[in-house]
Structure 1
């Protein structure tokens, strides 16, 4: 006859194990739900479409394709061409941002401006930098209170953000380029540095020594692995290279774009949820988007649509410019080359 004691003991063990497993599943689901809520809540957004209305360049064609590995009920991923205005901003004050060189709350600026064009199929892209010192005709831009900013002739491109925030930055970029900005993405100093650190740093090669006390970057020519603070300093440095203008800095920023893509491609995010969360938190906590990308689900779908994009398929260029005839410290678009470039992205 079987002794009932071991049976009862095993039953209790199995019961406790079952309760522990159920508890772990509940806690895991709760943690996942909390993480999803936390990341989604990080994102700030601006309703640019409503603010600008229909007085804009026409939209491009966006198509969708069903991922062969996806569930039949899953929404197809978008694959059409797309244009994004991407700004690097020092607009958000705060201790960490200011330690990295950010401005105060009264001095919002867009330090970096890039138009990112994704080709149809999203396996190739073109990144066009607009020098911040470019003189443009800045249009009147709607303000949240119902008023509008004053138009200005021969204004610096980066003054649009200071005058009217993301809405004015988009409107000014569209007037300059004739290209519809389908989405808007802005990341501040802290977010960029945290993203680089979450990715494990980036490896870059410089062709010349960089010695810039203002950005706090000092590098010998050669290959270096940079942490987030160093990468941000590289993105901002200008006085320690070439002629000290914004044009020299743009070349370093393009180097960083490629390095970030290379580093992101090395991550095993699907097998390391902690690393995935750290990267997602770093991105979303300092991110401002238009309302078309302001949820974790929308950002995830957008990222999934880029899974076929690799660093070698990304072309980086600067909008063709020449010194402004009336101000040698500023530049203007060089025609017809600038118009030909923008026409190729419409």
Structure 2
């Protein structure tokens, strides 16, 4: 090796053993890097475990909160799953006093209660529109066979108050399946989910959202909430806008006797305004995790649901499916109704037209679920089959030929006309259909051909149609006329979720 090569090798350190100090320093640096990497990985893993454990805890907590009712009580004779393009959710407000609810509502602690409030929420297929239809608790309906605790089934209960369905069987948890059967029988719509909320749950929900803005049309006193009080008592609400929560919110939606005509119809208007205000509050707060979990926790603690909503992921998935529905596209209406004594009767064929609109996914203003103008079609109204039903027809007006016109409409739909003639008086403003014992169902079928007809039970056998001036003014067969989205009186009286909380708060 030349001298220059030796010099170069020495300069490069070639041929000289590495110092032990340098080697130890390099090892320490490598160990430090590996240790730091292990620490970062351990921290990341710990955070991941905490997040997953937290989510798992939240999931288990929410799922553990949920009570479900058995699907075994649902009818075997239900509308087809595909009978409606959208989704129908039955929301029941129970007035049961069991499970501590008497502390808020008073009364007998063992009272299983009735459905104090009932809304059928139709969520359109586009998930951008929704309409909630209120069914008054005093509505006279046919309650179909329902399951009892001993696994036997009741017989059909005709001409019975709607809210009685919930208490069939007198079980501590009520009978939401029976109420669902009744709604499906009444509407012909498939109910996809049912949710029951009690007094405690309702009060808790309003507290979690920090209160709800409401409007009171006049000063309200204790006697207005409890008419059995001997004195007026203290004022519990001052007239005007205010925020309520907890017990006060419950009192607001339960007040009935001190406003308007003191009816359940007026109370429904205030309940619709309250729910609209609650929806507005939830949407304005945003569905962030910090807001969503307390709301979901309170909601799941307060509800009894069908098995299809019986877990946290199903419940939250359903709730999130509603997030794109605009307030203006969230509507509230009441089933077409009229008074029958102190009770409420369903007005046909208006109610059938409403159910047909929902079944076809038509909004209140006549659009389909995609926002395109729907082409009205006679097929959107269910056909009327009168085979085996005999009807006598009378003219209750001074306009000639109406009985014959009505008789032809009936025979065109398969009814047997037992005779025509003039009524004892010719001053009938509306058409009246009378029926004998056990013939209410057939009378309702007849009523579908006479818009706005009243149905009354008579003293004798048989069905009689007495056409009134309303028929003289518009004798068109409703099954062949081009229908609007829903009857105009229903659409015009609808409330939007963004309406003022002070608008249209009472009836009478």
CA distance in 2, matches of 1:217, 1:249: 19
* 2:78 maps to which of 41, 56, 72: 56
Please say if 1:320 is aligned against 2:330.
Answer: no
Alignment of structure 1 residues 25-104 onto 2, 5 Å? 25-48=48-71, 50-60=72-82, 81-91=86-96, 93-95=98-100, 97-101=101-105, 104=109
Question: Is the 8 Å Cα contact of residues 139 and 343 (structure 2) preserved in structure 1?
Answer: yes
TM-score normalised by length of structure 1: 0.82
- Matched residue count: 321
What's the counterpart of residue 401 of structure 2? none
Question: Is the 8 Å Cα contact of residues 212 and 239 (structure 1) preserved in structure 2?
Answer: no
What's the counterpart of residue 248 of structure 1? 266
Aligned-residue CA RMSD (Å): 2.9
**Long gaps (5+) in structure 2:** 1-20, 170-174, 227-233, 360-508
Select the structure of larger CA radius of gyration. 2
* 2:156 maps to which of 151, 155, 176: 151
Deviation at 1:267, TM superposition (A): 1.7
- The one-character-per-residue Cα deviations of 1:110-161 (angstroms, maximum 9, x if unpaired) are 1101111111202111111111011111122123532112432221100001
- The one-character-per-residue Cα deviations of 1:68-107 (angstroms, maximum 9, x if unpaired) are xxxxxxxxxxxx5111111011336233x22211663343
What's the counterpart of residue 334 of structure 1? 347
Question: Is the 8 Å Cα contact of residues 217 and 233 (structure 1) preserved in structure 2?
Answer: no
Deviation at 1:13, TM superposition (A): 9.9
Question: Is the 8 Å Cα contact of residues 212 and 240 (structure 1) preserved in structure 2?
Answer: no
Alignment of structure 1 residues 200-219 onto 2, 5 Å? 200-213=210-223, 214=225, 218-219=236-237
CA distance in 1, matches of 2:33, 2:210: 46
Question: Is the 8 Å Cα contact of residues 73 and 178 (structure 2) preserved in structure 1?
Answer: no
Deviation at 1:247, TM superposition (A): 0.9
Tell which has more relative contact order, 1 or 2 (C-alpha 8 A, sep 6+): 1
Q: Which moved more, 1:238-247 or 1:222-231?
A: 222-231
- The one-character-per-residue Cα deviations of 1:30-69 (angstroms, maximum 9, x if unpaired) are 2321221010111111243x5435411223468xxxxxxx
- The one-character-per-residue Cα deviations of 1:246-287 (angstroms, maximum 9, x if unpaired) are 1110000010111011001112442xx443221111000111
Q: More strand per residue: 1 or 2?
A: 1
* 1:109 maps to which of 104, 110, 114: 114
Deviation at 1:25, TM superposition (A): 4.6
Cα–Cα, structure 1 residues 135 and 282, in superposed 2: closer, same or farther, change >3 Å?
same
Question: Is the 8 Å Cα contact of residues 122 and 132 (structure 2) preserved in structure 1?
Answer: yes
- Aligned partner of residue 345 in structure 1, secondary structure: helix
Deviation at 1:21, TM superposition (A): 6.6
Question: Is the 8 Å Cα contact of residues 262 and 310 (structure 1) preserved in structure 2?
Answer: no
